[in-house]
């Protein structure tokens, strides 16, 4: 005998089991169908319907009480406050970083201009070093004459 179980029968059985036991397995559904109707039906069809019935309805995803809503609102407000504080901190850090970069850019520019305004400094230093060396030699020669006794 070919017993045909309708989709509505499978859905109703699945809902009854969910209301009674909470979660129901696919095997549990098949056992209940066999107990109620004397047959299970095609396994792929039964499990497809079972998966569809396991998906919670949109209404069950919403908060259950006003306390839940109030808690969620407080959490959202706290998260928004933290996000606002983080944004303010980030903006202040960005401002400070820009000021720091501008300060040192201006200092480097000032030093470059100071170097460019005195291009002859290296030449002047070399000339002074040469003059100090010549004077040192002259002083050594005069000391040698004074201490060596004037044997010239």
Instruction: Give the count of beta carbons closer than 10 Å to the beta carbon of residue 49.
Output: 20
pLDDT for 130-146, tens place per residue? 999 999 999 999 999 99
Angstrom CA distances, 66 to 41, 57, 76, stand at 43, 20, 15
pLDDT of residue 64 exceeding 70, the answer is no
Kindly report, residue by residue over 14-63, the tens digit of the pLDDT.
888 888 887 888 888 888 888 888 888 788 888 888 888 886 655 555 55
Tell me, what's the pLDDT at 58?
54
Report pLDDT digits (tens) over 68-113.
Answer: 888 899 999 999 999 999 999 999 999 999 999 999 999 999 998 8
CB 56 within 8 A of CB 45: no
- Please state the pTM of the whole predicted model: 0.36
């Amino acid at each position: 005998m070919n017993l045909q179980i309708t989709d509505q029968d499978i859905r109703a059985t699945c809902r009854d089991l969910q209301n009674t036991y909470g979660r129901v397995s696919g095997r549990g559904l098949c056992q209940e169908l066999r107990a109620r109707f004397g047959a299970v039906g095609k396994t792929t069809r039964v499990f497809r319907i079972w998966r569809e019935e396991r998906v919670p309805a949109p209404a069950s995803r919403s908060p259950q009480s006003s306390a839940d809503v109030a808690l969620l609102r407080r959490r959202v407000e706290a998260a928004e406050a933290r996000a606002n504080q983080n944004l303010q901190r980030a903006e202040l850090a960005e401002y400070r970083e820009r000021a720091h970069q501008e300060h040192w850019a201006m200092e480097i520019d000032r030093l470059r201009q100071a170097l460019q305004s005195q291009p002859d400094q290296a030449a002047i230093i070399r000339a002074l070093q040469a003059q100090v060396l010549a004077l040192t030699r002259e002083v050594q020669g005069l000391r040698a004459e004074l201490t060596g006794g004037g044997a010239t």
